[in-house]
Amino acid sequence: MSIFNQSGFVKKEIFDLPVKEQVLLYQDEVDNDNLLFLPPEPNVELLDSLIPSEAKTILARSAEYTIQVEHDPDDQLGEKVLQGLFIPAGMEMIQLTFGITCCSRVFSHQMVRHRLASIAQSNSRDRILPPIFVLPFDPKDAVNVSRLKKAKERCTLGYMNYLLDVLNGEEPQNARYFMPECIAQSMVFCIDFKSLQAMCSNRLCVNMQPEMSFVAWRMKQLVEVSLGKSFSQMLRPTCDKIKKCLPVQCNTYDCCGKWPSSIGDKGLKPYSQTAKGNWENIRAEFFAERG
């Protein structure tokens, strides 16, 4: 039987099977070359947030919690705070909860660095992870056929070692030491707006790891849909604010070319995902519809 449902997720009943039955099932999937490879574009949903009027009320109260707020039926005070009298502490009251699926452990290990966020990640201690992998290129791209073939071989070897270790009696939490970092994960990510601003100041840079940059841009999009353009405009990379490419943004790679570099190109390493185009093309590709 297929392990996937119509939505592309592993069927719930698969996880209800005993561990060894899951292992044998996944081994069959590997033997039949049914490993699933995904591009570095996780699914991002906004699970919970305020409506714009609630957010502006919070800003108004953070600015001046007096009788004046009660005589502000049109949220004018909150709008003034938002547009000019910005109160950073008020942004800590605005909570956003995102659901992220089809992401890699490479990505999740970067997300947990944002310590002011609350993160719940999918469990790999006592359950077997299915053969779904995220790779840093589009697996449907014919140009990358040879690269995809090599990646499949590496993922298969690591994943089979993981399954064999469990079959030999090792606990899943110890067997996962053999797990490839590109194995697919999911998480719930809860963060206040002020912390999201700090996160996006770095993560919106296209020289960041592609998967991380993609998620940051999707979060910005979802904030605009939920809270409005005035909020999403506050989510910008640092380089857009100061009109220069900073070492903190590109401390490994040369700048992407949107802004002059503040330290000069190193000439030692290639651009990150900007190697084959400029920043406009990269951002457009992130959100282009796929056939």
Asked if residue 211 belongs to a domain, the reply is yes
Nearest 10 degrees: Cα torsion 60, 62, 65, 71: 0
Is residue 14 located within the same domain as residue 157? yes
Last residue of one domain, picked from the residues 220, 236, 252: 236
Task: Please give the C-alpha separations between residue 237 and each of 56, 121, 131, 163, 249, in angstroms, as whole numbers.
Answer: 24, 26, 35, 41, 9
Is residue 119 located within the same domain as residue 188? yes
From the list 38, 82, 33, 31, the residue with the least C-alpha distance to 57 is 82
Is residue 272 located within the same domain as residue 192? no
Is residue 250 located within the same domain as residue 213? no
* pLDDT tens for each residue of 130-171: 989 998 766 566 566 777 788 888 888 999 999 999 999 999
- Tell me the C-alpha distance between 85 and 158, whole Å: 54
From the list 41, 38, 37, 42, the residue with the least C-alpha distance to 153 is 37
Asked if residue 54 belongs to a domain, the reply is no
Q: How many domains does the chain have?
A: 2
- Tell me the C-alpha distance between 236 and 232, whole Å: 8
- Tell me the C-alpha distance between 77 and 93, whole Å: 16
Structure tokens at 186: 């999911």
Question: Cβ distance 286 to 214 under 8 Å?
Answer: yes
pLDDT at 191 over 90: yes
Q: How many Å separate Cα 123 from the centre of its chain? A: 17
Q: pLDDT at position 239, please?
A: 81
Least confident of 88-97, 100-109, 151-160, 225-234: 88-97
Q: pLDDT at position 257, please?
A: 67
Structural domain harbouring 268 = 239-285
Q: pLDDT at position 271, please?
A: 45
Confidence of residue 183 (pLDDT cuts 50, 70, 90): very high
Structure tokens at 70: 């009660």
Asked if residue 81 belongs to a domain, the reply is no
